A = this chain, B = another copy of it.
């Protein structure tokens, strides 16, 4: 119950990078909602920012800064995957550990960053990453207001599972 995959299709090396992402990501694809491989996420979600996972105190000291998507993807090969929410079942037990355990394979394929994003605030994302002991391997970002997911048409009503949209 996750969407997965992405590489900004802009850099000269994007073709080979995308093949690498494709090979790596196919292993973990258990998606109900997904972004088509090759989608130019930065163009699809213009002016959207994510919120890097951090403690509340770090949030205060950073003046609650956000990270524009084009900074995240700039000159990088990135795998980004999304989950219904922090602390949800399969995501905690399988999806995130799957990426964490295979981080060396991603790096070997030239991936600079593996990113996990969910519709949560960055403080919850940070606590969840710490609990999963995954924050050294994977970068966690919050999409607290869902603007990133909305831009990519990834909004799903999960209120029946006591999660938001």
CB atoms of A126 and B164 under 8 A apart = no
Interfacial chain B residues near A28, Cβ < 8 Å: none
Which stretch from A14-22, A52-60, A69-77, A148-156 is at the chain B interface?
Answer: A52-60
Copies in the complex: 2
Stretch with Cβ within 8 A of B (4 or more), from A33-41, A103-111, A115-123: A115-123
Check: A101 CB closer than 8 A to any chain B CB: no
How many of A's residues come within 8 Å of B, CB to CB? 32
B60 with A123: CB separation less than 8 A? no
Q: Are A162 and B87 in contact, with the CB atoms below 8 A?
A: no
CB closest chain-B residue, reference A125: B87
Question: Inside 8 A of A163's CB, which chain B residues have their CB?
Answer: 121, 144
Interface presence of A160 (CB below 8 A): yes
6 further contact pairs, Cβ within 8 A, besides A51-B162, A85-B121: A56-B89, A85-B123, A86-B127, A144-B159, A144-B162, A145-B164
